[in-house]
Structure 1
Amino acid sequence: MESKQISEDVAGIDQKRVFWRLMSFMRPYKKKLTLAFFLLLMATALELLAPLVVKVFIDDYLTPGNFEEKTMLLLGGGYLLLVAAAAAVNYTQFVLFQSIALNIIQDLRVQMYEAVHRLGLKFFDRTPVGSLVSKITNDTEAIKDLYVSVLSTFVQNIVYLLGIFAVMFYLNAKLALYCMILVPVILWIMWMYRKYSSRSFFEMRERLSLLNARLNESLQGMAIIQAYNQQKRMKREFKEINESHAKAQMKNITYNGLLLRPAVDVIYMAALVTILSYFGFASFQTSVEIGVVYAFINYLDRFFEPVNMMMMRLSMFQQAVISAGRVFQVMDEREMAPGKMGEGEPRIEGGRIEFCNVTFSYDGKQDVLHNISFTAEPGTTVALVGHTGSGKSSIISLLMRFYTPDNGTITIDGEDLQAYDNRELRSKIGLVLQDSFLFAGNIHENISMNRKSGEEVHHAAEFVQASKFIEKLPESYQTAVGERGSGLSSGQRQLISFARTMAFQPKILILDEATANIDTETEEEIQEALKKMRHGRTTIAIAHRLSTIQDADQILVLHKGKIAERGTHQELLRQNGLYHKMYLLQQGTGVEAI
C-alpha cells in the first residue's frame, strides 16, 4: 500500500512542467546568461582547436621529419596559447554560471519562505513542522545543485559534444556517421535511468522529511521522553524510518551502478574498438594519416568525458526535479490564510464585536462550535470559560481570522470581519497567549517587533510592570533572548509578551489566560494594569481560574461547542449550573458560595 502511494505521488509530479518552471527562474538573468553562453562557446572552440594543432604537427611535420625551428615555435606557442586561453575563458564562464545559479536559488528560497508565511493555519494543522523544514532546507539545497552543478555542466558539455561532432565530420564524415549511433544509445540509457530512479528519489525525500519530523518532535518533547523513559521506543521508531531511508538509497545506488558510468564505459570500449578496426582495415587498402587516428581517438576521449560528466550529474538532475516538485507543491498550496474580501477600507474605532450563529469545524466533519452568538460592547470585558475542548480557543482563532467560520457572521463595529484589511485587523487587535512565544534577539526587539520606538517600548513595559525585572538585567532592554525565550522564566516571558501587545495600543484585547504563568504578586500588578487598559477597549478573555474574571461584564460558559450559560459572575452563581459547579471545585469546597 505504501509503495503504491509513493508511485501515485511520483506520478502526480509532472517532471517536464517542473523542469520548465525551474527554467523560468532564469529570466531575470538573461543578459548575464547570454554573456556566459558566449564565453562557453568561445572556450569550447579553443579546446577543440588544440587537437587540430597536434594533428597538423604529426601529419605535416613529424611524419615527414620536417622540423623547422620557426614553425615548431609557432605550433608549440599556438598550442600553449590555445590551452591557456581556453582555461581563462572557461574559468570566467564557470564563475559567471555559478553566480547566476546561486542568485536563482536565493530567489527561490525567498519565494518559498514568503509562500509559507501566506498559508493558513489549516495547512500547518495537517503538515508536520519537520517535514516542512525539510522541504525548505534539504529540497531547496537539492535544487541548488541543479543550478550550480547540473545545468552548467549539461549546457557546457552539449555544446562541447556538438563541437566534437563538427570536427569529426571535418576529419572523416563516414566514421563520424558511425559514431552518431552512440547518441541514441546514450539517450536511451538516460531515459531508462530517469524512469527507474524517479521513485527511489521521491521515496528518499519522503523518508528524509519523516526523519526531520521525528527529530523535531523528539527535540521539542525531550523532557517528556526522559520523564516517561521513552528513549528506547523513540530510538526504535527513528531506526525504522532511517532503515527505510537507507533502503531507498540502496535502490538508487543500484541504478547508479548499472546505468551510469559502467554502461557508458562499455559503450566507450565498443566505440574505441570500432574506430581502431576501421582505421586498421583502411590501412590495408590505403595509407592512413597517424594524425587523423590520433585526433579521432583524442576526440573520442573528449566525447566520453562530457558524457560521463552528464551521466554522473543525471542523478543530481533527477533528485533536483523531484525536490522541486515537492517545493512547488508547497508554493502552489491554496490553503491560504483568510484575507480581506470586498471593497472599502473600514477602520476599527469602537471595537464592538458580534458573533451571530457562528458554526465552525476544523476538519469539515465534526463541528467544534455550534451556533455561537454573543455581543461584546466597546470598553467591556467578555470572559470565556469551560472545560478543555469546549471551544474557547476556537472562538479566539475565528476572531483573529486565523480561520473562517463555516456558517454565521462575525462583525467588528458593524462590519463583517472579512471586510477588514490584514494590517488594520492586526494593528487593532492585541493577542496574549498562555504559552508566550519570544523570538531569538533581544528584549527590545521582542516588544517593538521592529515597529515601535524605544520610548513606546519602555512605556509599555512600565505599564505591565515588566520594567522592574528588565532594568535589573545585565543589559536591560538589550539583553539577549534565546530561542522561544530560553534564559527567562515563564513569568518573565509572559510579561514581555504582554508588553509587546501594549506597545501597539490595540482597540481590542484577546487574553488567553494571560496571567497563568505569573506568580501571585506579579498577577496582582498585572490585574491592576489590565483594569486601566480595559478602559475604552473591548476585551475577550479566556479564563481557567475563575478568580481572574469575576469583574467581567459578561461571562460565557461553553460546553461541547455551545454557550450553555451566560451572565455576570454573581448571576451565574445564582443559576446554580455549570459555572457554579466549576466555582465550587476551584474553591475546594462543596458549600454554596452565595
Structure 2
Amino acid sequence: MENTPKATGKAFDADVLKRLFTFVKPYIKTFNFIVFLTFASAVLSAVRPFLIQYTVDHDILGNDWEGLNRMFVILAVLLVVHAIVQYLHTYFAGWLGQHVVRDIRVKLYRHILNLRLKFFDRTPIGTLVTRNVSDVETLSDVFSEGLAAMIGDILQLVFIVGFMFYIDVKLTLISLSTFPLMLISTYIFKEKIKDTFQEVRTAVARLNSFVQEHITGMSIVQIFNNEEREMQKFREINKEHTRANIRSVLYYSIYFPVAEIIAAAGLGLLVWYGAYGVLDDSITLGTLMAFIMYIQMFFRPIRQIADRFNTLQLGVVSTERLMRLLDSKEMIADNGSFTPDTIKGDVSFRNVWFAYQDEEWVLRNISFEMKAGETVAFVGATGAGKTSVINLLNRFYEINSGHILIDGHDLKEYDLSALRHHIGVVLQDVFLFSGTIADNISLGNTNITEEQMWHAADLVGARKFIERLPGGLHYPVMERGATLSGGQRQLISFVRAMVYNPQIIILDEATSSVDSETEELIQYAIEQLMRGRTSIVIAHRLSTIQKADKIIVMDKGEIKETGNHEELLRHNGFYAQLYQMQYKNMINL
C-alpha cells in the first residue's frame, strides 16, 4: 500500500510550487494578465476611500457642488472598472486553474498507464483514483482561490497601509494597534488547520479505496453474508473522515469569531480616538470616514488570507502527492527501437530467474525454445509459475536475470508498443469496459472497421451470438460485462485478439469457467486463433492440450518435464500423474 505522505508544513515550498508552475508555462500570457488584474484590483480598492475623504473634506464641507458632481462621476467610473477587473480576474483565474488541472490529470493518467504491474499489485486502486481526481481538483483552487487571490489580498493590504500612513500616521498606528493580535490568532489557526487538512486527505484516500474495493467485490461480500461486518468497517473509516472534517470545522468556528472581535476592537479604537479628533478639529470628518472604510477593508483580507493560506497549503500537499506519483520510476523501461512490421514468432527463454519480491523466486533458471507456429502448453499446480511466464513475455514485469528473445532479439530491444502489438492474450477472467461490444473489440482503435470485426467474429464462431443481441456490435456492455455470460465474454475476447491479428497468441485458462456447450464453441475459436501462429496455452484441463506440439510441466518455478502428450505419458512422471488424477475424476463424475 502506498505510504501516506507527510505534509511539509510549508505553504510556500519553493520546490513544489516551482514544479507546479511548470504546468503554467503554456499559459504564461494568461498568468501575466491575471497578475496585472490582481495589481489593478488592489489599487482600485485602496484608492476609493482616499477619494471619498477628499470629497467630504473639500467638496461637501467646502460647498463645491461642481467638484462633488465631478467626483461622483469619477467614483462611479471606478466602481464599474473595478467590477470589470474583478470579473476578468475571477474568470481567467478559474480558466487557468481548469486548464492546468486538465494538463496535470492527462499527464498523471498517462504516467499511470505506463507503470509496471508490480506498482498496482501493492497500491490500492482507490488511492490512485483519489490522486487522479480529488488531489488534482484541489489544484484548481490554488489558482482560483489560493495563490492569485492571496497575492491580491497582500497587495491590497500594502496599498491600504500606504494610503493610511499618507493621510495620518498617528491615526494609522492607533487603527492597527490590534493587528499583532490578529497575526497571532491567524498563525495559531494556520498551524492547527494544517494538520486537519492532511488528516482529511488521508481519510478521503482510505474511504475511496474501501468503497472501490468492496463495490468491485460485492458478490463475495453477499455470498458469505458479510454485509454487516463490512458495514462496521465502513462506519469506522467514515467516522475517521467525519472526525477529521469536524476538527477543521472546530478551528474555523473558533478563528473567525475571534478575528471578528479583534477587527471590531480595532474599529472601536479608531472611532473613539477619531471622534475626539473631529470634535477638536485635529482630524477631519473625511479622514475619519476614510479610515473607517480602510480598517474594515484591512481586516477583511487578513481573515481571508488565513483561509487562502490553507487552500494554498492543501494544494501544496496535493501537489506533493501527485509529484511523488509522477516521480515514481516503477515503469518498464521503453528504450528499445526495434519496430518490426511482422515477426515470425520464435520464442526463447534462457536461464530466466524472476521474483515479484526480493528473492522469493517464482521462476528458477527457466529455459525453453518455441519455433514459429508451434503450440506449447504449460501445465502444473497453482503457483507453479505458468502465468508468470506469459507476464514476462509481455514485459509486464522485468526479469531478475537471464534473457527472453523473440526472433533472436532480446525483448528489451523491442519498442514496447511494437512488442505487445504482436502478442495477443486471452485471459481466464475477461475484462470488458463499459461501452458497446464494438468498443470492447477495437479498444478505441479507429483503424479497425466493423467489417473487420464481423470477419474476426466469423473466424472464431461468435457472429451468431452477437447478431442475436439487440444492436449487434452496438449492444451496450455494462461495467465488467455484467449483462453477458462468461462464455459470451470469452468469445468477445477471442474476437478482440483475432482482429488485432497477433503472431504470438497466449491463452491463459481460456476454457476453465464455461459449460460444455460453450466450450465447444470456444475450442473452435481457439483452433482458428492458433492457426498459423505461435501459441502458448495454459490449461488445467489436460484434455484441451493433448494436440500441443510441446507440453512443459512446471512445479515450484522449475521445469520438470518437456515433451508431447504421448512422450510424457510414457515417461510416467509429473504429467502422467496429473493426467491420471484428472482421468479418474472424470470417471467418478
TM-score interval (norm. to shorter)? over 0.9
The equivalent residue for 1:20 is 18
Give the equivalent residue in structure 2 for 1:327: 322
Give the secondary-structure state (helix, strand or coil) at the position aligned to 2:461: coil
User: Which of 6, 9, 19 is the equivalent residue of 1:9?
Assistant: 6
For residues 34-183 of structure 1, the aligned pairs below 5 Å read 34-64=32-62, 66=63, 68=65, 70-176=66-172
Q: How does 1:481-560 map to 2 (within 5 A)?
A: 481-560=477-556
In structure 2, what is the Cα distance between the partners aligned to 1:326 and 1:590?
Answer: 55
Residue 418 of structure 2 is matched in structure 1 by 424
Report the residue type matching 2:393 in the other structure. L
Alpha-carbon shift at residue 179 of structure 1 (Å): 5.8
Contact kept in structure 2, 1:429 and 1:506, CA below 8 Å = yes
2:288 to 279, 290, 293: 293
Instruction: Tell me the CA shift for residue 399 of structure 1.
Output: 0.7
1:403 lines up with 2:397 in the alignment: yes
* CA deviation vs aligned residue, 1:227-256 (integer Å, no higher than 9, x gap): 111111111111122222223223333433
Offset, 1:17: 2.4
Please tell me whether the aligned partners of residues 41 and 152 of structure 2 are also in contact (alpha carbons under 8 angstroms): no
Partner Cα distance (1:187, 1:542) in 2: 69
- State the Cα distance separating 1:508 from its structure 2 match: 0.5
Per-residue deviation, residues 261-302 of structure 1 (Å, max 9, x unmatched): 234334323432443454356568753201101101111101
SS in 2 for 1:488: coil
Q: Partners in 2 of 1:523 and 1:197 — Cα distance?
A: 61
Taking the aligned partners of 1:504 and 1:110, their CA distance within structure 2 comes to 26
Larger displacement relative to structure 2 (427-436 or 445-454) = 445-454
Distance of aligned partners of 1:375 and 1:180 in 2 relative to their CA distance in 1, 3 Å threshold: farther
- Percent identity between matched residues is 38
Residue in structure 1 matching 2:373, options 370, 379, 393: 379
Contact 1:346–1:415 (Cα < 8 Å) also in 2? no
Aligned partners of 1:97 and 1:152 also within 8 Å:
yes
**Change in CA separation of 1:290 and 1:545 when aligned onto 2, cut-off 3 Å:** same
1:508 and 1:58 map into 2 onto residues whose CA distance is: 88
Task: Please report how far the alpha carbon of residue 345 of structure 1 lies from its aligned counterpart in structure 2 after TM superposition.
Answer: 4.7
Please tell me the residue identity of whatever aligns with 1:21. Answer: R
Q: How much has 1:534 moved relative to structure 2? A: 2.9
SS in 2 for 1:81: helix
Residue 49 of structure 1 and its aligned partner are, at CA, apart by 3.0
Work out which of the residue numbers 450, 457, 467 in structure 2 matches 1:454. 450
Separation of aligned partners in 1, 2:473 and 2:499:
14
Q: What TM-score does the superposition give when structure 2 sets the normalisation length?
A: 0.92
Q: Which runs of 5+ in 2 are unaligned?
A: none
**Distance across 1 between alignment mates of 2:8 and 2:59:** 61
d(CA) in 2 for partners of 1:443, 1:344: 33
Superposition CA RMSD, Å: 2.5
**In structure 1, distance between residues paired with 2:360 and 2:157:** 62
Cα distance in 2 for residues equivalent to 1:76 and 1:589: 99
What's the counterpart of residue 568 of structure 2? 572
Code of the aligned partner of 2:430: S
Aligned AA (1:456): Q
C-alpha spacing 1:532/1:461, structure 2 compared with 1 (3 Å): closer
Q: Which amino acid aligns with 1:397?
A: N
Is the contact made by 2:136 and 2:318 (CA closer than 8 Å) also made in structure 1?
yes
| Residue identity in the other structure for 1:49 | V
The one-character-per-residue Cα deviations of 1:283-327 (angstroms, maximum 9, x if unpaired) are 687532011011011111011122222223333222222222212
Distance 1:532 1:507 in 2: 13
Choose 268-277 or 386-395, whichever is displaced more: 268-277
Give the alignment of 1:212-227 within 5 angstroms.
212-227=208-223
2:358 is aligned with 1:364? yes
AA partner of residue 268 (structure 1): A
Taking a change above 3 Å as real, the CA distance of residues 574 and 179 of structure 1, as seen in their structure-2 partners, is: farther
The question of whether the paired residues in 2 share the 8 Å contact of 1:433 and 1:511 is answered with yes
* Structure 1 position 393 matched with structure 2 position 387: yes
Give the Cα–Cα distance (whole angstroms) in 1 for the partners of residues 39 and 335 of structure 2. Answer: 52
184-193 or 165-174, which deviates more: 184-193
Q: Which amino acid aligns with 2:49?
A: P
Deviates more, 1:246-255 or 1:206-215: 246-255
Q: Deviations over 1:11-58 (max 9, x none)?
A: 599944223322332222121222233233333333333323322232
Distance (whole Å) between structure 2 residues aligned to residue 198 and residue 355 of structure 1: 54
Query: What are the ranges of 5 or more consecutive residues in structure 1 without an aligned counterpart?
Result: none
Task: Letter of the 2:320 partner, please give it.
Answer: G
Q: In the aligned structure 2, how far is the partner of 1:245 from the partner of 1:574?
A: 64
Q: AA paired with 2:324? A: Q
Which one of the candidate residues 315, 329, 333 is aligned to 2:310? 315
Partners of 1:13 and 1:72 lie apart in 2 by 49
Within 2, Cα distance between the matches of 1:185 and 1:19?
Answer: 30
What residue number does 2:257 align with? 262
Per the alignment, in what secondary structure is the counterpart of residue 10 of structure 1? coil
Distance 2:366 2:314 in 1: 50
Q: Distance in 1 between matches of 2:112 and 2:416?
A: 17
Q: Partners of 1:129 and 1:546 in 2: how far apart?
A: 36
Equivalents in 2 of 1:106, 1:447: separation in Å? Answer: 28
**Matched residues in 2 for 1:13 and 1:265: separation?**
26
- Code of the residue aligned with 2:481 in structure 1: it is G
In the alignment, the residues of structure 2 paired with residue 533 and residue 25 of structure 1 have an alpha-carbon distance, to the nearest angstrom, of 46
State the 1:187 CA deviation: 5.3
Change (3 A) 1:362 1:12: farther
- 1:436: Cα distance to partner? 0.8
| One-letter amino acid matched to 1:377 | K
Alpha-carbon contact 1:194-1:318 (below 8 Å) kept: no
CA distance in 1, matches of 2:555, 2:264: 79
The SS at the match of 2:57 is helix
